[in-house]
Amino acid sequence: MGRRGLTRSEIIDATWDLAAQRGLAAVTMRSVAEQLDVTPMALYRHIGDKQGLLDGLVERLHGEIPIPDAALPWRERLTLLAGGIRAVARKHPDLFPLLFHRPAVTPAAQRPRETAYAALREAGLAEDDVVRAERLLSTFILGFAASEAGGRFGRLDAEAEYAYAAGLIEMILTK
Amino acid sequence: MGRRGLTRSEIIDATWDLAAQRGLAAVTMRSVAEQLDVTPMALYRHIGDKQGLLDGLVERLHGEIPIPDAALPWRERLTLLAGGIRAVARKHPDLFPLLFHRPAVTPAAQRPRETAYAALREAGLAEDDVVRAERLLSTFILGFAASEAGGRFGRLDAEAEYAYAAGLIEMILTK
DNA sequence: ACCTGAACACCGTTCAAGT
DNA sequence: ACCTGAACACCGTTCAAGT
């Protein structure tokens, strides 16, 4: 005990490790503080309250989404992006629903979005449609990934469903 | 105190009222028990554990979705169904994300789904496509409603986004 | 400015006991 | 069979105090 120089990013690091290893339920002010060898109250100055801890997790979650190589064809970039988001959902099923609870305006959230914008522009969409289509795609992918990771799909074949959806989206983008 | 003849549905009723009036955070074993004038431990025999309480809320949430008149044209039925789901999300923003966490296999979940099936059949889809399209639509609507109610869309115009999505879906269904 | 110690008002759940 | 009482092992957060 008695540490000094605690920083926000150090706290969020510890929070992320705890969540990744022992699940969201294991993330408490007390457990995070213990991991950092400080008292729970030491956290408040740096992260506000527990919601601040969760906001940090949302940032990290966005940062986990792999950004596909810009040299690849746009279709492949979109497919890889969607696949990456599903993979994040499967790896962090309990954290993933947090993405619905905050506007995706942080820098970490911007990178996947800009990647999608660029791909949709290359696909030939008008600038207005690019923004709308990105929201449609991200909403669908988020809903799909959350359904899959959360168990809403039950025992059914998510892969076949995903292929069907991808086919229709492909049709829209190349109409 | 000292009540007898406690039933599951009575417990879920009290849970729903509490959640609707004071939010999901106010739903605790203790607060539900207090509302029913029993001790918290009396609930366990009837609902299992706290997850059982939440499962009850998911049922009620499905039951809140208004079922459109079967005599209406299929397009209108789908539009009304989607609008009804969004309305439920807006009315119960904190409860709504619970829908992602359980397979939608309860009787209450079946009614909206059967309504969508019937409309999609009338739209002329093959039986296999009816099932897949329903999942696509429900996933999108759920993701959209959760984004809107949870705040992921931030200050942007959800209505314009919804209209854009509806237009594309319309295009798919009548391709 | 930054961290601690003690306290407050809560949680879900188990277990033995009562009727 | 059904409910209670007491207890256990936790929570987030406030507030005054220390350095």
pTM of the model: 0.91
Our CA-based measurement puts residue B133 at a distance from the nearest CA of chain A, in whole angstroms, of 8
**How many Cβ contacts (< 8 angstroms) between chains A and B?**
97
Distance of alpha carbon B56 from alpha carbon B66, whole angstroms: 18
Distance of alpha carbon A80 from alpha carbon A61, whole angstroms: 17
- Closest CA to the C1' of D2: that residue is B4
> Gap from B22 CA to C18 C1', in Å?
35
Which nucleotide has the least CA–C1' distance to A6?
C2
Tell me whether residues A142 and B143 touch, CB distance under 8 A.
Answer: yes
- Residue B97: which of A97, A144, A153 has the nearest Cβ? A97
Q: How many Cα atoms are found within 13 Å in the side-chain-facing hemisphere of A81? A: 30
Task: State which residue of chain A sits closest to B160, comparing Cα positions.
Answer: A132
- Closest CA to the C1' of C15: that residue is B41
Tell me whether residues B151 and A101 touch, CB distance under 8 A.
Answer: yes
Block means of pLDDT (10 residues each) for chain B, 175 residues, are: 82 97 97 97 97 96 97 96 96 94 88 97 94 93 93 84 90 79
Distance of CA A66 to the CA centre of its chain: 10
Q: Which residues of chain A have a pLDDT value below 70?
A: 1-2, 175
> Gap from B94 CA to C6 C1', in Å?
34
Angle at which helices A8-22 and A50-64 cross, to 10°: 70
Q: What is the DSSP string of B64-87?
A: HSPPPPTTS-HHHHHHHHHHHHHH
- Per-residue burial over B115-126, b if 16 or more Cβ lie within 10 Å, else e, is bbbebbeebebe
- The full set of domains in chain A, from first to last, is 8-48 (1.10.10.60), 66-173 (1.10.357.10)
What proportions of chain A, in percent to the nearest 5, are helix, strand and coil?
A: 75, 0, 25
Q: Using an 8 Å Cβ cutoff, are B84 and B66 in contact?
A: yes
> Gap from A11 CA to D17 C1', in Å?
25
Task: State which residue of chain B sits closest to A140, comparing Cα positions.
Answer: B140
Task: State which residue of chain B sits closest to A138, comparing Cα positions.
Answer: B143
- Residue B140: which of A101, A103, A143 has the nearest Cβ? A143
pLDDT (0 to 100) of residue A173: 81
Our CA-based measurement puts residue A121 at a distance from the nearest CA of chain B, in whole angstroms, of 17
Contacts of A172 in chain B (CB under 8 A): 168, 171-172
Our CA-based measurement puts residue B128 at a distance from the nearest CA of chain A, in whole angstroms, of 11
A31 touches strand D (CB under 7 A): yes
